[in-house]
Structure 1
Amino acid sequence: MKQGDLVVRKSYGGDVLFRIATLNQQRAVLKGTDYRLLADAPLPDLSVVRDPEYTGAAAKVRIKVNESMRRIQEQRDKQVQHNESELRRELSESQPYFEVPGKVLHLDGDPNYLKKSMQLYTQLRVPAYGLHVHESQMAETVFRLLPQLKPDIVVITGHDGVLKNREQSSIYNLGSYKNSQNFVNAVRVARDFEKSRDGLIVVAGACQSHYEALLQSGANFASSPGRVLIHALDPVYVAIKASYTSIRETINLADVINGTISGIDGVGGVETLGKYRVGLPKPKSLSSVKATI
């Protein structure tokens, strides 16, 4: 067994697929491959996975991911059809239009999750800038980058979780979480920069994060109402939904929550206007949308 191996925990019935981040004597630090989960386990409790495509955990997650991506694509197709039919009604002749989706700043405490996230932004043509930042440095990074990049949407995510060694009654204490305080600090900085929730959309949190504290700090969408594990791409799904919802409409809460892989126990939020715009006439030269790290 070595660093980088894919493993599952026997004591948990192999419910989550992990990659070994570091080895220390007879224990390993693990990072979830699909869920934003950081854990540790004794080596005898681990079983190496040779073919992750055929593990029960990976197969179930893959089905959910495919369903979520299908919904995104269906919503985009409907949006294009709606735009075209609306413009035909309002103009005497057909005119090609151009799209201006909301721009995303994505800060992630995990480089592997960041890579997956940026691939999805690129695939769905969302203009995005991504940066791997340790959770403790996110507030400082938000303060530095928001004035430079002026995004429409900021995603603040990484690793989190409820600490094992805590009193049962301390679930609403920020000190009972690995990184919720860091996320809260970053949200507060973002909200100081732009007070309006419609001016800057903030998506914050990771696995088991302090949902209530993040919303109270000014986040539009946050995890995790049910203190559950959220999928690595759930914050990305919310950001994409915000990016492609018209500025004339509020983001449909039921759609965005049901469309995530984790569902209502994983993500919640408040009514927010979208960031998508349509323009006429189409410029002769329009640079292609790219997601950059």
Structure 2
Amino acid sequence: MSIQINDVVGRISYKCDVLFRVIDIREINGSKEAILFGEDIRLIADAPFHDLTPVGSDMRNEWKHRNEELIEQSLKLFSQDIQLLRQKYRYDVTQGYKQTSEFFQMPGKVLHMDGDPNYLKKCMDMYEKIGIPVQGITCDEKEMPQRIGSYIEKFRPDILVITGHDAYSKAKGSMMDLNSYRHSKEFVQTVREARKKIPSLDQLVIFAGACQSHFESLIQAGANFASSPARVNIHALDPVYIVAKICYTPFMERVHVWDALKNTLTGEKGLGGIETRGVLRTGMPYNKFMENES
């Protein structure tokens, strides 16, 4: 079978339920095996060549169209939420009276560390659409625990996203054993290192995890939100929607878990967390010169 690195493939045994890109090929005991990254799902997997089938442009376009529809629907719902929040801000800031000055908003700074540059680019594009200030860094999952401390000191984020690829392997052990996961252990260690720098759940809000990640360990390590309670796959953009909800919730209000999850593409099976304070601050009067300084 002629399958090369960067080819898009599906797994026959899983009825091609996820589209993967081949990122590496290795030979084990005379048999070829491919290392796979999900195209839109934060999943890493390996599969023998005999279980792979190339995915043609027609099927890829169909998947792309379907994925874009889901993203557009989630973005529309989120935008409606933001509009309602802004109306509330306007009323609260002016105490119900006709305002004489425009207010400005500071939604908080995000540091997004991602193990996959393609996923990071998709997330950065969505952050830009939503209007969230973000610093994006591509970092191998295994290096994250050593590098996170210096990044926090350098960028001083209000929200930290730690994600990339992950997967649970039943062959490696039980679902509660961190050693049964591709990168959950590294995500947990990274959260712990971040909490050494900023212990407060309100001063630094953390999202951590990827597909099938060890949710319980991530929350216990200090994450506010994490994946994946039911060990299911999550969409590449799911962290962005949770971050956006926190960014546009005032710092005096709490983000209830369901409110953060309802507009994600995966929902409560793939994502969960704890009640968390928002980070948005509103001020006035608005000065157009602030745009040039931000």
Pair in the same fold by TM > 0.5? yes
Within 5 A, what are the aligned runs for 1:40-189? 40-49=46-55, 50-51=57-58, 52-55=60-63, 58=64, 60-89=66-95, 93-167=99-173, 170-189=174-193
Q: Aligned-residue CA RMSD in angstroms?
A: 1.9
Which has the larger displacement, 145-154 or 65-74? 65-74
How does the TM-score come out when normalised to structure 1?
A: 0.91
Within the alignment, does 1:30 sit opposite 2:36 as a pair? yes
Residue deviations 1:21-79, cap 9 Å, x none? Answer: 12335322211111001112223322222231224xx5554443222212211112212
Which one of 218, 222, 230 corresponds to residue 222 of structure 2? 218
Question: How many pairs align?
Answer: 286
Q: Provide the residue aligned with 2:240 in structure 1.
A: 236
Give 3-state SS (helix, strand or coil) of 1:239's partner: helix
Residue deviations 1:152-210, cap 9 Å, x none? Answer: 0000011111124223xx21111111111111111111111111101110100111111
CA distance in 2, matches of 1:211, 1:289: 39
2:244 corresponds to which letter in structure 1? I
Which one of 264, 270, 274 corresponds to residue 278 of structure 2? 274
Within the alignment, does 1:2 sit opposite 2:23 as a pair? no
Which has the larger displacement, 252-261 or 120-129? 252-261
Q: Is this contact kept in 1: 2:172–2:179, CA < 8 A?
A: no
Q: Is this contact kept in 2: 1:65–1:261, CA < 8 A?
A: yes
Residue 92 of structure 1 deviates from its aligned partner by 6.0
How does the TM-score come out when normalised to structure 2?
A: 0.91
Unaligned 5+ segments in structure 1 are none
1:148 corresponds to which letter in structure 2? K
Q: Is this contact kept in 2: 1:122–1:289, CA < 8 A?
A: no
Q: Provide the residue aligned with 2:264 in structure 1.
A: 260
Q: What percent identity do the matched residue pairs reach? A: 41
CA distance in 2, matches of 1:92, 1:15: 54
Q: Is this contact kept in 2: 1:125–1:289, CA < 8 A?
A: no
Unaligned 5+ segments in structure 2 are none
Which one of 228, 247, 255 corresponds to residue 251 of structure 2? 247
2:161 corresponds to which letter in structure 1? V
Q: Is this contact kept in 2: 1:127–1:289, CA < 8 A?
A: no
CA distance in 1, matches of 2:207, 2:104: 26
